[in-house]
A and B are shown apart, each in its own frame.
Chain A
Amino acid sequence: MTEKTTPLWEVFIRSRTGMAHRHCGSVHAADAEMALQAARDVYTRRGEGLSIWVVPSAEIIASDPSEKGMLFEPTASKIYRHPTFYEIPEDVGNM
């Protein structure tokens, strides 16, 4: 193969007004404009979206799965961050 590889883009779609853009997959395209067109054809054939973001896959910085424990485990012990940790008589009611 003599051809150059076509860059990969991650696709994020906002399905409705008021919702956040959500990752839905990826496409290959030579540039951003073609990536948007390809994302529209591949991921919104049935009215799935009102807005599309494409981001070069190489630009995404991801956390390392082997550091999952170090990053996320400490929150498990901090149950006082949740409202159910506090005892309030039922008569008082919720805000």
Chain B
Amino acid sequence: MYTQALNARETETSAPEDAERLAAFQARIDAEEKIEPNDWMPAAYRKTLVRQISQHAHSEIVGMLPEGNWITRAPTLKRKAALLAKVQDEGGHGLYLYSAAETLGVSREELTEQLLSGRAKYSSIFNYPTLTWADIGAIGWLVDGAAIMNQIPLCRCSFGPYARAMIRVCKEESFHQRQGYELLLEMCRSSEEQKAMVQDALDRWWWPSLMMFGPSDTHSTHSAQSMAWKIKRFTNDELRQKFVDATVPQAHFLGLTIPDDKLAFDAESGHWTFGEIDWDEFSRVIAGDGPCNRERLSARQKAHEAGAWVREAALAHAEKRAARRAAAQVAAE
């Protein structure tokens, strides 16, 4: 999902934890207790969460770029207002998540630096370009739809601040998915040309959307531990299947064709079976070689550098005012 790169294998080994404390910790998890920032936790739990929450936050922030691209070109004022609100929400979601990660002892500045230097990952989906207005609808429907599917179980994550951030995010995100689908519905009903644009958008976004759920369960190295810690509640493949089952009928409702000739309904299981994901493409985009990786990163770097003087000026102003207040107090005494 927004944290696909978590599945990359880790090389370093950490010091062993005290067995008694580990058992007590796992007992709290098993009893569905929430873990709070000041509670004892295994170093690996903390590290996994910092990586997961910060990758999730980075995804929200980078996710503003493909859509921000279309704000000035939205076809109507209604669509422009909706898109603006959606992009603003994504900025807000990034901030909730950074705050949750910071409770684990990492600073905002470190997290920002990890993103800008390219060391931290974010969701591969945001490295694809938004070529037409229909892409904005496809992102809302598919990308936000996939995100909702992933985030609803995260509302029950064992780490309190992450779970609470997810509850806020989920409440706000439902409109993102709905405005996207409504936009596509309107286009599909308008003219053959517009419907063709929507089909083209689906053709390009379908497979990258399925990749958002991460590697298949047989190749996912962190899943078992994350499930035991109740950070994760469903496996990548379970969530992917749920997503396919939900979206295929929605595509048919729009009169569209899913770009997968292996797609078929299995009456026995009640699920849609689908073809194999291009895992080479997945690895390439995660590793930094997708269509827009360089562009996205350079846009974030430029924004950070261009905003440096504002941050510096705000701090200098705050310091100056604090010094003046202190001087006035001394004079008054």
- Using a CB–CB cutoff of 8 Å, the interface residues on chain A facing chain B are 1, 3-6, 8, 25-31, 34, 41-43, 45-46, 62, 64-65
Q: Which residues of A contact B308 (CB under 8 A)?
A: 3
Which chain B residues lie closer than 8 Å to A45 at the CB level?
A: 85, 88-89, 92, 172
Contact across chains for A25 and B113 when beta carbons are under 8 A apart: no
A26 near B314 with CB under 8 A, answer no
A-contact 0/1 string along B151-167, CB 8 Å cutoff:
00000000000000100
Give chain B interface residues in 16-50, CB to chain A under 8 Å. 36, 38-40
CB of A1 within 8 A of CB of B96, answer no
- For B310-333 the 0/1 string (1 means CB < 8 A from A) is 011011011001100000000000
* Closest residue on chain B to residue A11 by CB atoms: B99
B107 within 8 A of A: yes
Partner of A26, one of B88, B99, B317: B99
B interface, CB within 8 angstroms of A:
36, 38-40, 85, 88-89, 92, 95-96, 99, 102, 107-109, 113, 165, 172, 308, 311-312, 314-315, 317-318, 321-322
**Is A3's CB under 8 angstroms from B99's CB?**
no
| 20 A–B contacts from the bound complex (CB under 8 Å) | A3-B308, A3-B311, A4-B315, A6-B311, A6-B314, A8-B108, A25-B165, A27-B99, A28-B108, A30-B315, A30-B317, A30-B318, A31-B318, A42-B92, A43-B92, A45-B89, A45-B92, A62-B38, A64-B38, A65-B38
A contact face: mostly helix, strand, loop, or mixed: loop
Bound-state CA distance A26–B109 (Å) is 15
> A25, B89: Cβ atoms under 8 Å?
no
Do A6 and B315 touch across chains, with their CB atoms under 8 A apart?
yes
Closest to A5 in B: B109
Contacts of A3 in B (CB 8 A): 109, 308, 311-312
> Please, which residues of chain B bring their CB within 8 A of the CB of A26?
99, 102
Cβ-defined contact, B95 with A27, below 8 A: yes
Taken together as a complex, chains A and B put the C-alpha atoms of A5 and B112 apart, in Å, by 12
**Contact B314–A34 (Cβ < 8 Å):** yes
A27 to chain B: which residues have CB within 8 Å? 95, 99
- What are the 6 closest A-B residue pairs judged by CB atoms, nearest first? A30-B314, A31-B318, A30-B318, A30-B315, A26-B99, A65-B38
Chain A residue nearest to B116 (CB atoms) is A1
Q: Are A31 and B109 in contact (CB under 8 A)?
A: no
Q: How far is the CA of A60 from the CA of B314 in the complex (A)?
A: 23
The answer on a CB contact under 8 Å between A1 and B109 is yes
Task: State how many angstroms separate the Cβ of B257 from the closest Cβ of chain A.
Answer: 37
Minimum CB–CB distance from A70 to chain B (whole Å) comes to 15
